[in-house]
Structure 1
Amino acid sequence: MDVVARHLAALDRLRTRDLPAGGAGHLTVELETGHGPRPTADDLHALREAIAQHLGARWGEAPPWGQLTLRLRLARGEEIPEPWATLCLRTDELDVWQTGDVWLAVGVADRDETDELRLLATATRTAPP
């Protein structure tokens, strides 16, 4: 199974899992990390784009969501619900789809130069702000 197909299967499992009740209400998983041969940021962004093409064909094309506005809103003291507050601090853009009552987001966490690069996926019932 190729890497994109493996991640699409993981996203399907994530989307259909029971989300935690209460305040958390979301699940975030790492699809790829720097373990093994360390992927570059370009590698992970290319993988995110390949996944987005497949999911866009499935659920409709959507442009990536830039996270700068959410970071500015956070800096002004506005309350941004989770998981969006954390995702905007970790990623520069997300690919986001709504399927039923679940929002699915995929992005590359590469904003912290001291941390490993990560391809993240989040499922939540909280709509993006």
Structure 2
Amino acid sequence: MTLAGHLATIDRLRLDPFPEAPVRSGPCDSGPGFHVAELITSEDFWDDDGSRRELAEEQWEAEREALAQLLAGRWGEPQVFGLGSLLTRGFQGEHIPDPWDRLCNAVPDVHLWRVDGRWIVLGVAYGDKEMPLQLLAAVTTVDPP
């Protein structure tokens, strides 16, 4: 997908109503107060010596930064929010609401904008070293915990 396609997806998510119960529709998970969309997903890295993954990480980060620059043109510079403390708090038994629970389990940090009462979130999900990378976009009314 192109940057224009990513912007269109984010714009659609901003307008889509939130369902009352969790649902998956294609590359998008939604639930009360949130949508999380997989904008792009890499191949997996099971047979990689690390070089393909390293290149993919650079590409996915560059894609996020390019998209963040376009969104900054609309809404100003993003807040950068580390999710490591949320992951730790979740491991310690604290309830972390969606979509933040899902995000903190794979995304180390996100770019955030607050627009019209909703958070717009961009992040790169790394997962395990063999798993695909994902560029994720989320729209939520749930404040970061």
TM-score (norm 2): 0.78
1:95 aligned partner:
111
* 1:91-114 deviation line (CA, Å, top 9, x unaligned): 011111121122111111113223
2:19 aligned partner:
20
1:29 aligned partner:
37
* 1:7-49 deviation line (CA, Å, top 9, x unaligned): 11111111111111257221111111125xx970110111101
Deviation of 1:82 (Å): 0.8
Of the candidates 57, 70, 73, which is equivalent to residue 73 of structure 2?
57
Any idea what SS the aligned residue of 1:78 has? coil
Percentage identity across aligned positions?
38
CA distance in 2, matches of 1:27, 1:43: 24
CA distance in 2, matches of 1:41, 1:19: 31
Following TM superposition, the consecutive aligned residue runs of length 4 or more in structure 1 with deviations greater than 3 angstroms are none
Closer, same or farther: CA 89–32 of 1 in aligned 2, 3 Å: same
Q: Which has the larger radius of gyration?
A: 2
Superposed CA RMSD: 1.9
- Give the number of equivalent residue pairs: 126
Amino acid paired to 1:72: T
2:64 aligned partner:
48
CA distance in 2, matches of 1:20, 1:128: 20
Amino acid paired to 1:114: E
CA distance in 2, matches of 1:124, 1:83: 7
**1:74-85 alignment, distance < 5 Å:** 74-85=90-101
Gaps of 5+ in 2: 23-30, 44-52
Amino acid paired to 1:111: G
Deviation of 1:63 (Å): 3.2
CA distance in 2, matches of 1:75, 1:34: 28
TM-score (norm 1): 0.87
